[in-house]
Amino acid sequence: MKRGRGKSGANQSKRAQQGQIKPELEKLNPEKQSSTRHNSKRQGSKANSTKTNSSETAQGSHKPIILMQMPIKGRLGLLTKAINRSIFALFPWGYIVLSVCLVLFGTQVIAFDFAWGMALLFSPVLLVLLWALIGGFLVMLLGEDVGDRALCLVLFVLMPLPFMVMMAVLNTVYFDVFMDVMKMIYIVILGSFVYGVIKQTNDIQCFLYAWIRPLSVSAAVLFVLALIEATYPYPETEIWGANFAPCETEEYVFKGAVKSRQTCVALFRHKGERVVMAFPDTYPVITVRQGLLDHFTNERKAH
């Protein structure tokens, strides 16, 4: 019995000595202490990051859908994000349905004007489309991602730019030629876009990185020039004594009623050159709006 007690006492004394030696060894090896501290900090940061990621995903699932999520450089990007949220907040679905019902009732009872009623009816949609046009224009010029800029460039060239150029060449001698050329441009742009989406090669990416800026600037400059040509009040002159050929009358059906329109071809001289154009009337006074292009009309003006 004494021997057993002696052995147990010796073991306890050894354990006590080891317990005293371990902290001394840890003091002599600060590298181990720093490594353990770093490991504990890493584990804590990982846990915090997982918590923040889960909270961000939870918040992201409840974020409202905004109109344009393509980032723009600088402070302008912050402004566009704020406008996106404001526009979306103005038109939730319940208020849209209520406003449509009120507009329909108001136009039937008060206005009786079809064009004005339709404008009021689609005013929320027109506002969103207007902001989409402005936002796409800004992304095309100042977007951070090249892919977003290329997509906005294609949409801009296919939709708003041709319409504005058509308004710029309206009532000119180039209008018919423009319509034929525009069809070919549409085919080329759509074919190139589909080819780029299917292939997605490095050559296409290099082309976008090299040419996205000059193409975007060229499209924007052309749009601004067409807008000025279509809306600016250029000086006007009048031409008298135009010779009209017999008018051709065409009948068509609109809203269940048979209507007719006529096309009258006129021959006259402008700047020493002979001009042949079609007009809807035989009014002999032709008004020339002298912009970058000459616009010819023969509308009767109230005096």
The predicted-structure confidence for 197-212, as pLDDT tens digits, reads as follows: 787 777 777 877 888 8
Q: What residue numbers bound the domain in which 269 lies?
A: 237-297
85 neighbors 68 (Cβ within 8 angstroms): no
Q: What is residue 100's predicted lDDT score, i.e. its pLDDT?
A: 67
- C-alpha 236/C-alpha 137 separation (Å) is 32
Q: Based on the structure, what is the number of domains in the chain?
A: 2
Is residue 279 a part of any domain in this protein?
Answer: yes
Tell me the average pLDDT across 221-241: 91
Q: What is residue 67's predicted lDDT score, i.e. its pLDDT?
A: 46
Per-chain mean pLDDT for the chain? 73
Is residue 163 a part of any domain in this protein?
Answer: yes
Same domain, 215 and 287: no
Q: What is residue 107's predicted lDDT score, i.e. its pLDDT?
A: 60
- C-alpha 98/C-alpha 269 separation (Å) is 57
pLDDT of residue 68 exceeding 60, the answer is: no
Tell me the average pLDDT across 119-128: 69
Q: What is residue 66's predicted lDDT score, i.e. its pLDDT?
A: 41
| Rg, the chain, Cα only | 37
Same domain, 246 and 171: no
Is residue 181 a part of any domain in this protein?
Answer: yes
Tell me the average pLDDT across 154-166: 89
Domain final position from 231, 266, 289: 231
Same domain, 246 and 190: no
Nearest 5°: phi and psi at 73?
Answer: -70, 145
Pick from 57-61, 209-213, 280-284: least confident:
57-61
Structure confidence by residue, pLDDT tens digits, 16-59 = 454 554 454 444 444 444 455 545 545 555 445 544 444 444 44
Q: What sign for the dihedral angle of Cα 126, 132, 134, 140?
A: negative
Helix-helix angle 146-158:160-168, to 10 degrees: 40
pLDDT of residue 77 exceeding 90, the answer is: no
Same domain, 99 and 200: yes
Q: What is residue 173's predicted lDDT score, i.e. its pLDDT?
A: 87
Place of tokens 């600060």: 30
Q: What is residue 31's predicted lDDT score, i.e. its pLDDT?
A: 46
